[in-house]
Structure formats: C-alpha cells, structure tokens
Chains A and B, each alone.
Chain A
Amino acid sequence: AQSVTQPDIHITVSEGASLELRCNYSYGATPYLFWYVQSPGQGLQLLLKYFSGDTLVQGIKGFEAEFKRSQSSFNLRKPSVHWSDAAEYFCAVGGRGYSTLTFGKGTMLLVSP
C-alpha cells in the first residue's frame, strides 16, 4: 500500500532563514510526487511535482524539491523564507499524473520575525 510520511508536524523558521520540509514515501512502482500548500481556510495549491527526469524540480514561489530514490524521499526546500510562506504543506504520492493521490499528514510552517 502506498503511504507518505511527513515526520514534522510543526516547524518554526525565522524569516530569511532556509527551510527544508521532509517527506518520505512508500510506493510499489515509479512514484509521481507532489507538494501542495494550504493557507488557512484555503484550498490546496500545487507547488511542484516530480514525474521523471531531473531529480531536482523547481516550483512556484521559489520552492524546490529533490527526489532521492535511494532514500524514498522528496524533501521540499526554500533558501529564504518569507512571512507569507506560513501555511500547511502536504506531500503526496500517486502512480501517474492523473491517478489518485495519497497525502501525508502535513507540516505546519510557522515563520517568526
């Protein structure tokens, strides 16, 4: 069965500092991996996705993620966090671009001044 683990429930980062959110997945075939962001009361916005090719993918809002097959990981990074990045971040895995997604429990990012 497929699963996603986001080990950090909350993370607090100072504004301007770098960020890394961890995601580990379990999937029996080639995974399609996604990061979504959810601001309070809002829907899920697609930040970036990995299907194949270059293992370092760039997304919107200055985010990037690196796929590491050997570690079954797809960690999200940003070099310099802005206060507007405070939100909940979800990692998800699926089998293709249109197959159903399995989500992690999310990581709440808090940004301190």
Chain B
Amino acid sequence: EPEVTQTPSHQVTQMGQEVILRCVPISNHLYFYWYRQILGQKVEFLVSFYNNEISEKSEIFDDQFSVERPDGSNFTLKIRSTKLEDSAMYFCASSEQEGQYFGPGTRLTVL
C-alpha cells in the first residue's frame, strides 16, 4: 500500500540554525501539507501546497518557514532560523480527494 515517507525521523539542531525536513508524498496525490504537533498539544496546520504553490497557510507559517517541491517526488519544509519553540513533531500529508494520509513524522528538537 502506498504511503507517505519522511526523513529524518529525528533532527536535533541548535537554535538559529536552518533545518530542512523532507517528505515523499504518495505518488498520484496532488495536494501536500505540513502540520506540526508540539508535545502534549494537538496537531496544527501549517501550510498546504497545490500546483507548485502555497494554497493556504496558517498564522504559524511566518517568514521563517518555506516549502518547496524541488523535483517530482520530494516536498520539503525549511525553517530558516530555528527557535526553541519550533521543537515539535512535524507531519507531512498528501491527498487526492479522499482524505489526507500522513507520514510518520520528523521529531525536531531545538537546543
């Protein structure tokens, strides 16, 4: 069964450093998303992406964040200058029209 994959599974970084989280969506899906889950809190929407552009973003998704689909398979989330409060589990999801399928997540720890 096709699935969304994410790398790395765990990323540790120093405050102020740039990180790139990678995702490979399900191959025939056209909509892509990033969500995050701070420890003990609910899953929050960050951004959605369709047809090579951002279709919607939340207040969390400020200028420190960017997304890209650099080739036909990868979908990345970049955080330019990480803050302590960026520590969270980041989930990628993809969708056709029948619901969103999530990857296993990347746990980002900012020290």
Contact = CB atoms under 8 A, between A and B. Distances in A.
A32 B95 CA distance: 14
A72 B97 CA distance: 23
B103 A98 contact: no
B31 to A, nearest CB: 4
B99 A100 contact: no
Given A98-B31, A106-B42, A43 B103 contact: yes
B8 to A, nearest CB: 14
Interface string A21-35: 000000000001010
Chain B contact surface mostly? strand
26 contacts: A32-B99, A34-B100, A43-B6, A43-B102, A43-B103, A43-B104, A43-B105, A44-B93, A46-B100, A46-B101, A46-B102, A90-B42, A96-B97, A97-B95, A97-B96, A97-B98, A97-B99, A98-B31, A98-B95, A100-B33, A100-B45, A101-B35, A101-B43, A101-B100, A103-B44, A105-B41
The 8 closest A-B pairs by CB, nearest first: A43-B104, A44-B102, A97-B97, A103-B43, A98-B31, A98-B95, A105-B42, A49-B99
